[in-house]
Structure 1
Amino acid sequence: MTENHDTPVDREGAAVGPTSPEVWSLEHPRHGTLEVAVGDAASLRTVDPGFPEEKKKDDDNDADSATADSDPATALTSSPGFVLLRDGGLVARARKVGNHKVSITADPPKPDKFTSNPAAVSGPRVLMRSNVLDTKVRQVTFREGWEVVHFDPPPGSEAEARLADIADSPWKRVLYPIAGGVGKSGWAIAMIVLIPILGRLINPVIDWISERMPDVDIPWPDISLPSIPWPDITLPSINLPEVDLPGWVEFLLEYSKVWIPLLIGVALAMVAVRHSRKSRRIKQEWEAQRAADEAGEDEAESDDEH
């Protein structure tokens, strides 16, 4: 057994064990137990011994890096990776979380290697959605054909609390996805609001600099270009009727960079609501089928006893 140089230590120098990763899970009736473990390299090696070790910049930072690895809050806000497991066996691994699409039937990567291209577009696959900075996983979804089923979030996590809020309040089932979709147009709204403000702050500075710049007179050469006798074509004149557009139409035409992303965000939110309803319905069908199978097994056992 090789010595592990990434063993975390506390502030007093005492060795402590690696933290456990956050695990998203799904019990699929055909594909078995699917799990997505999220965390730093040390925690992911507890479920995947072949996960590549973190590289230290220099020896002087070893203690600081180990201390940071021992703190789960620090580990999950720096650059968490993930591991996809199927019935406990490795399927894929990546250095950073993000918006990945991973096939559950692909060949697993070799030890100390990452999955080369987690972007499956067909077949049974796991879809991961993260925040903008790729520091947290927002949702993990299984997809195959028409099946769209959400993974169960890690126990005690922020995602589990959010899911509980959605389950307890029907209107939040619609509000949360819409808020997430509308947020996709926030950059356009921010630019329209911030650019005029920045212009008012920067224009006085530019005027102050331009007033103090010396006047430079450059004697540009006078070049006479040849004159080309273009033909004179008379186009027919079309008298188009004058149309007075309503004020709201003029507003939409002027601020299309706001409402188009906003419309796209709302459309994506509606798709998310539909997928959430489909996921709950499929899980209920699985539970009913599982209960029926267990009842059939119990009845068969009782018949054998008699």
Structure 2
Amino acid sequence: MEVWTFHHPEQGTIEVERGTDDEFRECYSSWPEAPGTAGDEEMGNALRAKQGKSPLRLQVTVNGEVRRRLRSVPTGRVPLQRHVGEKLSSVSSATVHRDKPHLHIQSNWRDDILAIDYREGPDIVEFDPPPGSRGEARKQAMESSSFKRVAIPLATGLGRAGWALSVIILGPLVARLIGWLLSFLPDWELPPLPPLPQVSLPLPQFPQPPQVSLPVPAWPSISVPEPPEWVLFLLEYSKVWIPVVIGIVFGIVALRNHRRSERKKQEWQEETRIDAPSTEPRAKITPPASTGAPACPTGRNAAG
């Protein structure tokens, strides 16, 4: 089981657990209820089902209290309010209030968690990924150079809008391939169909309405200047550059959120140093990662 842990100075310990049904049943006797629960049509779980593997679930706890149980690993916002149904529940990002505490989870098509942020209004703080996870490898790659810090989120943004680029680039190639294949087919000519019989029906004569001529105002002629060439180019190839702009914006936003997260962690560390006695060692807001995730986080075992 993969466990992402975050220590908030007011909320407490927030844990995001990602694992299979069997892994969760070792810790919770009542969840998941049975294998093959409905709602495994997401791409990651559908692929795992074809491979004969157990689907991946997600659970969010705050100080050991279960807040959310999801049937798959989402990409988007997950609230932290106390609301858990008896069965697996799904959360729509549109229903999450951005001013209230919530998590923003980023995952890939294989349901691997790439990053988790704690968000509350303007505050954004990043989780430290657990050791050995794909999120840790991604974070280490981003911290290895300033170029990768921008390039990796940029590639993620392009991946979200890359379908448009693939259609634009591959569309003409597929059309040429289809035309080339059709060139090998013989030209078939269908025999002409017999002409249809002509039917003439009498039409009634209706009286013509009176002709009314309305005055037409004389509008002044306005000459619109010819747009420059670069404007015409952008209008013609808007489907190409718009996904690129979306990817650039996504990368810039990710870089800005990282800087805001670092500033917020620094503020919490300064507050902790002021409140702590001088004889005690300085506390850290985010403790160092453990050597491995336990089978049941925080000692839970068949808690239900």
Mean CA deviation greater in 220-229 or 100-109: 220-229
Among 10, 22, 29, the residue aligned to 1:49: 29
The yes-or-no answer on 1:87 pairing with 2:63 is yes
- How far does residue 125 in structure 1 lie from its aligned partner after superposition? 0.9
1:29 aligns with 2:4: no
- 1:1-306 counterparts in 2 under 5 A? 21-55=1-35, 79-110=55-86, 113-119=87-93, 120-122=95-97, 123-131=100-108, 133-206=109-182, 211-212=187-188, 214-215=190-191, 217=193, 219=195, 241=223, 243-295=225-277, 298=280
8 Å CA contact 2:21–2:55 kept in 1: the answer is no
- Asked if the contact 1:97/1:134 (under 8 Å) is kept, the reply is no
Report the TM-score, using the length of structure 1 for normalisation. 0.71
Q: Which has the higher contact order (CA 8 A, sep 6+)?
A: 2
Give TM-score scaled by structure 2 length. Answer: 0.72
- CA shift digits 1:97-151 (9 cap, x unpaired): 12242221222233xx1125353421111121221x2521222111111111111
One-letter amino acid of the counterpart of residue 91, structure 2: N
Conserved 8 A contact 2:113-2:134: no
Q: Does the aligned pair in 2 maintain the 1:143–1:149 contact within 8 Å?
A: yes
1:220 positional shift: 5.3
Aligned-residue RMSD, C-alpha: 3.6
Q: Aligned partners of 2:279 and 2:68: how far apart in 1? A: 35
Q: Secondary structure at the match of 2:276?
A: helix
- The CA deviation at 1:279 is 0.9
User: Structure 1 regions of 5+ residues with no counterpart?
Assistant: 1-20, 58-67, 300-306
Deviation at 1:237, TM superposition (A): 8.6
Equivalent AA in structure 2 for residue 273 of structure 1: L
2:261 and 2:199 map into 1 onto residues whose CA distance is 72
Q: Is the 2:77–2:102 Cα contact (8 Å) retained in structure 1?
A: yes
Matched residue of 2:173: which SS? helix
SS at match of 1:45: helix
Please say if residues 26 and 151 of structure 1, whose CA atoms lie closer than 8 Å, have aligned partners that are also in contact.
yes
Partner SS state of residue 66, structure 2? strand
Q: Any unmatched runs of 5+ in structure 2? A: 38-47, 282-304
What secondary structure, in the 3-state scheme, does the structure 1 residue paired with 2:277 have?
helix
- Residues 40 and 79, structure 1, Cα contact 8 Å, conserved in 2: yes
How many pairs are equivalent? 261
- Report which stretch shifted further, 188-197 or 101-110: 101-110
Matching residue's letter, 2:101: P
**Separation in 1 of the partners of 2:263 and 2:195?**
78
Distance 2:219 2:199 in 1: 37
- C-alpha distance in 2, partners of 1:231/1:41? 79
